[in-house]
Amino acid sequence: MKRIVVGITGASGTIYGLRLLEALKATPDVETHLVMSKWAKENLAVEHTGYTLKQVNQLADVVYDERDMGATIASGSFMHDGMVIVPASMKTVASIATGLGDTLIGRAADVTLKERRPLLLVPRESPFNQIHLENMLKLSKMGVEIIPPIPAFYNNPETIDDLINHNTMKLLDHLHIANDFGGRWQGLNQAKAALKDRDRG
C-alpha cells in the first residue's frame, strides 16, 4: 500500500487539493495522510468548494492538526511514498526553503526532504516576485518537483473541472500512481480528429 501525505495551505485554489484527495481515495491501495492549514479551512467556504471540513476529512485515511508537531508525519521514521502540498502558499514555500518547520506541513516537508522522498509543490501565486522564484529554484535544486497549476489546452478542455483534472493527472503521474485522469496528448492527428468530432456534435 502506498502512503501519500497531502498538505493544503491557504493559497487560492483549494479545489486542487480536494480533487487530488478525491482521486487518491478512489485509487486502490493508497493511504492518505492530510494536514490543512487554518487558512485552507477558511478557503473551503470563501472559494465555494461545496465541501464542509468534515467532508474533506472523510476523503483522507488520517487527518492531523497543523499544530500537532508530535504527529507521526513529523518524524523521518514515518515511511511514506511522497508528499504533495497543493496549493502551496508562498509563505509555506519560504518556510520549507529555509527549513523553518514551524507548522506540521512545514515540518513534514522538511523530513520528506531529509529522507530524500518525493516532495511535490503546487505553487499558487501570480505574478511571482524574485523571492518566490529564488525559493522555488532552491527547492528544485534539492529535488523538489514544482508543478504549478498551469492549464493545458491541447486536450480542448470544456469546463473548469477539465482544467483541474489535468493538473491532478500530473500530480498522480509524479507520485507514480497509474491514472487516466486528465486527457493525455495522443498526437496531432488524433487531436484534430477529436476537435472535428466535437464541432460536428
Domain ranges of the chain: 2-200
User: What's the confidence (pLDDT) of residue 182?
Assistant: 67
Residue 75 annotated as binding? no
Average pLDDT over residues 126-134: 97
Residue 194's pLDDT band (cuts 50, 70, 90): low
pLDDT at 193 over 80: no
Q: Locate 158 and state its grid cell.
A: 470544456
Residue 91 annotated as binding? yes
The residues near 116 (Cβ < 8 Å, ≥ 6 apart) are 143
pTM, 2 dp = 0.93
Residue 178 annotated as binding? no
Residue 142 annotated as binding? no
User: What's the confidence (pLDDT) of residue 180?
Assistant: 85
Select from 3.40.50.300, 3.30.230.10, 3.40.50.1010, 3.40.50.1950 the CATH code of 2-200.
3.40.50.1950
DSSP per-residue string spanning 103-154: SHHHHHHHHHHHTT--EEEEE--SS--HHHHHHHHHHHHTT-EE-------T
Residue 10 annotated as binding? yes
Residue 12 annotated as binding? yes
pLDDT at 136 over 80: yes
